[in-house]
Amino acid sequence: MPFDVARLQQEFQKDARLKGHKLEFSFYRGPLDQTPALNDEPYTFAAWNRALIIPAGVTLVERSASYETCMAYTGSNPDGRYVFKLARAHQGHEYYRGASGAPIVSPEGVIVSMVLGGCEKKNEIYGLPLAKYTPLLNLA
């Protein structure tokens, strides 16, 4: 069932707790079978995670942002996940909690992976190799 965006916006505007917040739906229409390139920085991701659910006529979700930019793709680990080296110190599990599934984009804005986790000790974020799975889903 498609979103009734007009109705959502009306309900959103009625709730005083949400005043000043913006309702927006973004869609990516680019390829999903691209692989990251070594030495091609900066790879970036941003996620709206750590959700707080607000019942307001329709259920709305207020979230906190987490992000990383200037990540360097360093290859794949033994289980096939992409490895992205962070440009700053790993922010800890709580900062990234809920960011799994966030798109990782190339410098050109092409989605090359999705966040699957990371390692604080190694200062890394791990990504799903989308190029491996898109043919199986007939998405490429």
Question: Per residue of the chain (140 residues), what is the pLDDT tens digit?
Answer: 455 767 777 777 787 777 777 766 667 778 888 899 997 779 999 987 756 666 666 666 566 788 999 999 999 999 999 999 999 999 998 889 889 999 999 988 899 999 999 999 999 999 999 888 888 776 55
CA proximity to 117, closest of 139, 88, 86: 86
CA proximity to 68, closest of 34, 131, 117: 117
pLDDT for residue 1: 42
State the CATH architecture for 26-47+67-133: Beta Barrel (2.40)
Report DSSP state, residue 50. E
Where do the structural domains in the chain lie, given as residue ranges?
A: 26-47+67-133
The whole model's pTM is what?
A: 0.73
pLDDT for residue 80: 93
What are the counts of helices (DSSP H) followed by strands (DSSP E) for the chain? Answer: 3, 6
Taking the C-alpha atoms of residue 105 and residue 33, their distance in angstroms, rounded to an integer, is 12
